[in-house]
Structure 1
Amino acid sequence: MTERTLTPPPVLDVRDVTVRFAGLTALDSVSLTVEPGTVHAVIGPNGAGKSTCFNVLSGLYRPASGTVRLGATELTRLAPHRIAALGVARTFQNIVTTEGTVADNLLLGRHALSRAGFAASALRLPGARREQREHLARAREIAELTGLGAHFDTPVAVLSYGDRKRVEFARALCLEPRVLLLDEPVAGMNAAERARTVEVVQDVREQLGLSVLLVEHDMGLVMRLADEVTVLDFGRTIAHGTPDEVRRDPEVLRAYLGEGEGEGHSHIHSHSEGDSDGESDSDSDSERDSHSEGDSDSDGESDSHSDGESDSHGTGDAAGANESDGEREGEDAA
C-alpha cells in the first residue's frame, strides 16, 4: 500500500458547474461535495447530465463556468492525465480493456506511477526491473482485493462480462486514486455479479479509505452503498441528501420516476430491496396462473352449461314436434 492510499483523501468540491453544447445546457449550476472516505451517488433519468458531470471531473470536458476542486487544487482547466496524476481515477459505462492478460491491463493503471524512464525500461536496467516487480506485486494485490486473483494470468477475452467489468475497476484502483469515479459499474450484470460488485466496492472503501463518486441506475445498489445522493434532472440539481431522504423527496418522485408520489415511493422502495422484484414476478406469475385456471374452469362450466341447455332445448323441441304430429294424425282419423 502506497503513501497516497494511507493519506485521507481530500474533499472533492464541485461548485456551480455549467456545461453548454451549442446552446444546449447539459449542466446548469450543478454543485455537490464528496466528503473524504464516503460514497456519493449521482442519479437521474437518461439525459440528466450524469456522464457530462463525470467528464468534467476527469478533464474530458471544460465547463463554461464553475469550479472543481480536489482539496486546495483546482481541476477545472487541467488535462485528464494531470487530474489522474493527482489521484482521480474513473471507469466507463462501456468496458475499455486491451488485449492480453488481466495482469497486462492492471499494469497499464500503474503507468502514471512509474519513475523509470523509457530508456531505462527498454534497456531493462536494474532500477527499472525492480520497479516493474513492485508494480506487478501491487497489481496482484489489487487483483486479489477485487476477486480477480485466480484470473491474474488469464486473457481478458475469455473472462465473463462481470469479470471484465471488474478488470476495468481494478485497473482504476492500480492508479492508487484518492477519489474513484465509477460510471455505472454494474450495467449489464446479472444479479450474482451485481452482488459481488457491491461487496468489492465496500471492501475497497474500507481497506483503501478512498472516496467514491458513483453514477448508477440500479437503485438497490445506490441505497445500499451511498452515504449521500445527488439527483439531477435536465442538468439541474433537484434533490440532495441521504438515500432515505432522497427516495421520499416529492421532486424526485415526480421528475426522476415520472410517477405519482405514493406509487413512486413504493417503486424506489421495491428496487432498494434486493430480491423483491423477483418475488413480485413470482407472485404475478402465480396470480396469472390462477386466473388462467379460473378462466379455464369458467369456460368449461359455460361450455357444459351451454351444451346442457342446447341438449334440453333440442329434446324439448323434438318432443313438441312429436306431440303435434300425433294430434294431427288423430284429427285425420276422426
Structure 2
Amino acid sequence: MTETDSAGTVGALEVTDVTVRFAGLTALDRVSFTVDPGSVHAVIGPNGAGKSTCFNVLSGVYRATSGSVRLGGTEITGLAPDRIAALGVARTFQNLALPPQATVAQSLLLGRHRLTRTGFIAAGLRLPSAARESRQHLERVREIADFVGLADDLDRPAGVLPYGKQKLVELARALCMEPRLLLLDEPVAGMTADERRATAAVVAGVRDSLGISIVLVEHDMGVVMRLADAVTVLDFGRRIAGGPPAQVQSDPAVIQAYLGAPTP
C-alpha cells in the first residue's frame, strides 16, 4: 500500500534541530526526533508546547526558520504542502473538515485525487481508460472503508454520521492517499470511550497491517501509552524527553511539565 524509497523500504522521518520563530516568539527550539519506519511515534506535551507547530512544519503549512526534516532520505524542509503530500505524507486535523453533503464514498475519493492519472479531457469524454481508473479508485475506497469499519456507511452523507465515525472518515480519507507517513492530530479527541477504543484499534491496524509510519499528537495518555512505540515530549517549544512510553511517563521533567511538580 505504501510507496517505498530507493532501498525498497519506507524510510525514517528525521527531524533535526528544527526551530520556528514568529515575530520574535520561538515556537520550536532546536527540536529533534526520529520516527522509525512502520512505527507509531507520539508527540505530546502541555497546551502551548509546540505540538501543532511541529505538525504544521512536517506537513508544510509552516516553514522552519532553521533545521531539517527528511523523509526516507529526501529533504522536505520548506516544501509546499502539495509537494509534501505528493511524497506520501497525509494528515488529519483536530477539527472535522468533511464536505457536509458528500457521501462517505465521495469524501474518500477526494483522497485519491493525487493518484489520479486520467486527464480532464479523457474524464470529460468518458473514455474507457477514465472509466477503468474510476472503477479502480472506487474499489480501493471500498477496501479502505472496510478496513476502518465504514463499509456499511459508504452511501450515507458523512455529515450525518456520529462524531466518532466522522473522525474515522477523515482517517480513511488520509489512507486513501496511500501515504508513507500519516500525521494524526488528536484522532480520538471528543470521542466516547467506546469510540476511542475502536479508533485506537484502527490506528494500531494501520501500523501492524499496512506498515505505515505514524506521528501522533494526542492528549489521551491512555491511548498514547497503548499505541506509541516511542514518545517525544515538548514543553515551551523544546524537547524535554523522549524514548519508550513507560520511560517517558516516569521522567521527572515530564511530570514537572504536566503537573508543575518540582524535579527532585
Instruction: Provide the rounded CA distance (Å) in 1 between the counterparts of 2:219 and 2:69.
Output: 24
- The 8 Å contact of residues 8 and 37 in structure 1, kept in 2 or not, is answered as no
Superposition pairs for residues 236-315 of structure 1, below 5 Å? Answer: 236-259=238-261
Distance 1:2 1:23, change over 3 A: closer
Partner of 1:228: 230
Per the TM alignment, residue 225 of structure 1 is displaced from its structure 2 partner at its CA by: 0.3
Distance 1:64 1:2, change over 3 A: closer
Give the secondary-structure state (helix, strand or coil) at the position aligned to 1:193: helix
Higher relative contact order (CA 8 A, sep 6+): 2
Partner of 1:178: 180
Give deviations 1:90-111, integer Å, cap 9, x for gaps: 0000011113100000000000
Instruction: Letter of the 1:169 partner, please give it.
Output: L
Give deviations 1:219-240, integer Å, cap 9, x for gaps: 0000000010000000000000
Contiguous gaps of at least 5 residues in structure 2: none
Instruction: Provide the rounded CA distance (Å) in 2 between the counterparts of 1:185 and 1:249.
Output: 25
Per the TM alignment, residue 118 of structure 1 is displaced from its structure 2 partner at its CA by: 1.1
Give the secondary-structure state (helix, strand or coil) at the position aligned to 2:49: coil
Superposition pairs for residues 39-118 of structure 1, below 5 Å? Answer: 39-98=40-99, 99-118=101-120
Partner of 1:128: 130
- The 8 Å contact of residues 2 and 10 in structure 2, kept in 1 or not, is answered as no
Instruction: Provide the rounded CA distance (Å) in 2 between the counterparts of 1:194 and 1:94.
Output: 16
Instruction: Provide the rounded CA distance (Å) in 2 between the counterparts of 1:107 and 1:205.
Output: 22
Q: Percent identity?
A: 67
Aligned-residue CA RMSD (Å): 1.5
Per the TM alignment, residue 260 of structure 1 is displaced from its structure 2 partner at its CA by: 5.6
- The 8 Å contact of residues 90 and 182 in structure 1, kept in 2 or not, is answered as yes
Distance 1:2 1:247, change over 3 A: closer
Distance 1:134 1:37, change over 3 A: same
The ranges of structure 1 where at least 4 consecutive aligned residues each deviate by more than 6 angstroms after the TM superposition are none
Partner of 2:201: 199
- The 8 Å contact of residues 70 and 76 in structure 2, kept in 1 or not, is answered as yes
Per the TM alignment, residue 8 of structure 1 is displaced from its structure 2 partner at its CA by: 3.1
- Asked whether 1:161 is paired with 2:186, we answer no
Instruction: Provide the rounded CA distance (Å) in 1 between the counterparts of 2:263 and 2:20.
Output: 31
Per the TM alignment, residue 261 of structure 1 is displaced from its structure 2 partner at its CA by: 6.7
Instruction: Letter of the 2:10 partner, please give it.
Output: P
Give deviations 1:280-300, integer Å, cap 9, x for gaps: xxxxxxxxxxxxxxxxxxxxx
Partner of 2:12: 11
- Asked whether 1:152 is paired with 2:154, we answer yes
Give the secondary-structure state (helix, strand or coil) at the position aligned to 1:238: strand
Instruction: Letter of the 1:49 partner, please give it.
Output: G
Instruction: Provide the rounded CA distance (Å) in 2 between the counterparts of 1:258 and 1:20.
Output: 26
- The 8 Å contact of residues 8 and 210 in structure 1, kept in 2 or not, is answered as no
Partner of 1:20: 21
Give deviations 1:261-287, integer Å, cap 9, x for gaps: 79xxxxxxxxxxxxxxxxxxxxxxxxx
TM-score where L is the length of structure 1: 0.76
Partner of 1:32: 33
Contiguous gaps of at least 5 residues in structure 1: 263-334
Give deviations 1:25-67, integer Å, cap 9, x for gaps: 0000000100001100000001000010000000010011001
- The 8 Å contact of residues 4 and 11 in structure 2, kept in 1 or not, is answered as no
Instruction: Letter of the 1:40 partner, please give it.
Output: H
- The 8 Å contact of residues 2 and 212 in structure 2, kept in 1 or not, is answered as no
Give the secondary-structure state (helix, strand or coil) at the position aligned to 1:29: strand
